[in-house]
Amino acid sequence: MRHKYTVVVLLIAIVAAPAIPLTGQEEPLPPIQVKLTYEPAVVLAVVPFHEPVQPTLADAVRANDFATFDALYRSAPMPAFAMLHELWTFSMNDPVGAFFGPELRDRIARAYPGFAEYIEEFRIIDSNGNAFYPTSETRAFLLDRAIEGRAPRVLLAETVTSTPRIGTPASSPAERAASRRRAPVVAAKPKPIPTRVAARDAAGSAGEDAGVPQAVALAAPVVAETAPAVVAEQTPAPAPAPVVAAPVVPAVVQQPNDFGSRGILLLVIGLIGIGILAMMLRAPRDEPPVTILPAQPITRPSAAPPPPPAPQESGKNRATGSHG
Amino acid sequence: MKKIVVGVALLMFAVAGFAADRPATPELNPPDNGEEWLRLSSTEKLFWSIGYAQGYQEALDKIDVTAGPTSPCAALAVRTERQSSTSGKLTGFELVSGLERFYSDPANTVIPIGTAIRIHLLQASGKDQTTIQELIDTARVLGLQAAARPRP
């Protein structure tokens, strides 16, 4: 027994001997090796490979990068960004393109409902009472609409309804073309434009002193009004669609929007008519009052008819089943 | 107790007086470069541009007073600064539009706004495009170095 204990103690001592230094000190630190930097003989050009990220139109607008936006839009035009592209191009090419006048503001407001209320906050009015609207905030508005996927409302309906329609669908193409050529003459009747608005719009730039260009600007709208009519008359045989579209657009912009007011009036009249009709239909008729009592005269309970006679075979067992 | 009430009332009157003395106009942090310029609203940009042009012109007009009529500063002002100042050449609307155009290139946003105005003026005066591009490249490098420097 004692011999066994001795053997166990010896085994433990042999196993633990390397772990416990005899001197009681810690193990010495590993030798420090000086790292030598070796210059590689051949340097291979290693360039991290990144997938080329194609920026979108919205990214370009957010980064305020006009060149990229313009290139992207020209390569793949998107209707939702059309107005934004037009506005930004104007802003980059006009000497005072950071602001625009009421004419462009009205155009955008017609194309985007809610724009008029939005831009009202950013309107700047100078000492002469001229109103200017900033392009930067408008771009932000148009970007939001474009991201929502809302293209500007096309004003084709207004154009068609406001222009006097002379030709009929059954007319020959020549008659229709002739009637279209005549149409701007009727529409080109100059609408009185306020002096200040005319000066602003003709100047085309928001930063100019409104006092100076007014004399020049007064004549400009008159020329712009009459020009389409003259051009349309002198054009010998223009192609129907493109030639007509050019002179019609300025005339339409000047015309009041009768279609909307007329439509609203018709809608109101129709609603009133429906209301009157509904009231007439729901009026009480001269009919006898509906009663829930039976049509027979009321009889006393004593005079009630006797109960029905009992079945004759009531005393028998009722046969069940087909075999009885 | 009476003294405390009187003291509180005086304090409230003083606070109200300080509040009334504060200007009603919005405070505007002057932009250093294009990045800060693009953060301003259009109204702020316009006000800043008008103020910049007016202040620059006033400083030029007073440089002979501050530095002396025959000093090198006055001569420099007459020779170069008046030519490159915005006053009389650009309206506030034009200055805003020019800066918007200049900073529509994202690489230019590091360029300090004073440099951007000078480059824009040179562009507007019809300086050749090669010189303009060299100036822009130099300004970009200097702007990047300035942006990397910690602000005081």
**B104 Cα to chain A: minimum distance (Å):** 5
pLDDT at A57 over 80: yes
The answer to whether the CB atoms of A96 and B101 lie below 8 A apart is no
pLDDT for the residue B116: 92
Considering only alpha carbons, which residue of chain B is nearest residue A98?
A: B97
pLDDT tens for B88-120 read 677 889 999 999 999 999 999 999 998 999 898
- Residues of chain B in contact with residue A208, where contact means CB-CB under 8 angstroms, are 91, 93
pLDDT tens for A68-83 read 999 999 999 988 899 9
Across residues A289-303, what is the average pLDDT? 53
- Tell me the pLDDT band of B53, cut-offs 50, 70 and 90: confident
d(CA A271, CA A267): 6
Across residues A208-229, what is the average pLDDT? 35
pLDDT for the residue A286: 53
First to last CA, chain B: 49
The answer to whether the CB atoms of A99 and B94 lie below 8 A apart is no
Across residues A140-154, what is the average pLDDT? 82
Which candidate from A67, A94, A132 shows the least CB-CB separation from B105?
A: A67
pLDDT for the residue A167: 37
Across residues B79-84, what is the average pLDDT? 68
pLDDT at A184 over 90: no
The answer to whether the CB atoms of A66 and B105 lie below 8 A apart is yes
Q: In what order do the strands lie in the sheet with A99-100?
A: A99-100, A131-134, A124-125
Average confidence score pLDDT of chain A: 65
ipTM surpassing 0.85? no
The answer to whether the CB atoms of A99 and B105 lie below 8 A apart is no
Q: Which of B33, B40, B50, B94 to mutate to test the interface with A (most CBs of A within 10 A)?
A: B94
Considering only alpha carbons, which residue of chain A is nearest residue B42?
A: A134
pLDDT at A250 over 90: no
The answer to whether the CB atoms of A65 and B105 lie below 8 A apart is yes
Two tokens at A288? Answer: 């006898």
- Tell me the pLDDT band of A22, cut-offs 50, 70 and 90: low
- Tell me the pLDDT band of A296, cut-offs 50, 70 and 90: low
